[in-house]
Amino acid sequence: MKLYADRMPTAIRQLITDILVVLWVYLWIRVALWVHDVVLQLAVPGQKLESAGGGIADNLAEAGGKVGRVPLVGDELTKPFTSAADAARNLAEAGRDQQAFVDQLALILPLVAIAVPIALVLFLWLPLRLRWIRRAGVAAAVRDDPAGRDLLALRALTSRPLNQLAKLGPDIAQSWRAGDGAAVDALAELELRKLGLRRRP
């Protein structure tokens, strides 16, 4: 497997691109973590609401219990305290619901923030990089073999632009068909250069 080209301009470009992609992914992971932390701050009012509602409900229930011991009118006096305690418990429940919603939001929003950048890496950059690695690995394996150089020459004939082929001579295809070693080498070198590879000395 060949990860980087032999020729400096191509290898440097590949290395810089790989570093930029890693930095890009790291940056978006940091952004997602920041979004997570910011969204979690929204749960603070819910926590305070739950704490305050629970505390008020407990105090009202305790006060209602004490008032309920008053002879004759205790039961009547307890009803407002009980109603107020129930209302305070509803406030505490609303605080818990708000915290649960914020927890879900703190999970979903960071995933949304990181999904698009990661998708760009996985579906645009990575396939191109893997295709180059596969092609360069095969080319590097066959570049010093006469039959392999012939395959590289054929690949150049079928994939290189006409203006590049014409620079090798007007009868380059005929020379390749005739088995001219110089033509095969020139075409193979053209294909290797496209991949950023060199023939081994």
- 121 and 56 fall within a common domain: yes
Is residue 137, in this structure, part of any structural domain at all? no
pLDDT at 32 (0 to 100): 93
Is residue 24, in this structure, part of any structural domain at all? yes
pLDDT at 126 (0 to 100): 94
pLDDT digit string, tens, across residues 156-165: 888 888 888 8
pLDDT digit string, tens, across residues 171-195: 888 888 888 888 888 888 888 888 8
pLDDT at 144 (0 to 100): 81
- 169 and 102 fall within a common domain: no
Classify residue 7 by its DSSP letter.
S
- pLDDT-flagged residues of the chain (< 70): 64-75, 77, 200-201
User: What residue numbers bound the domain in which 128 lies?
Assistant: 1-132
- 119 and 194 fall within a common domain: no
pLDDT at 150 (0 to 100): 86
- 152 and 176 fall within a common domain: yes
Strand segments (E) across the chain: none
- 59 and 3 fall within a common domain: yes
- 91 and 171 fall within a common domain: no
Domain boundary among 73, 97, 132: 132
- 97 and 156 fall within a common domain: no
SS3 72: coil
| Residue in 143, 137, 148, 192 with CA at minimum distance from that of residue 4 | 137
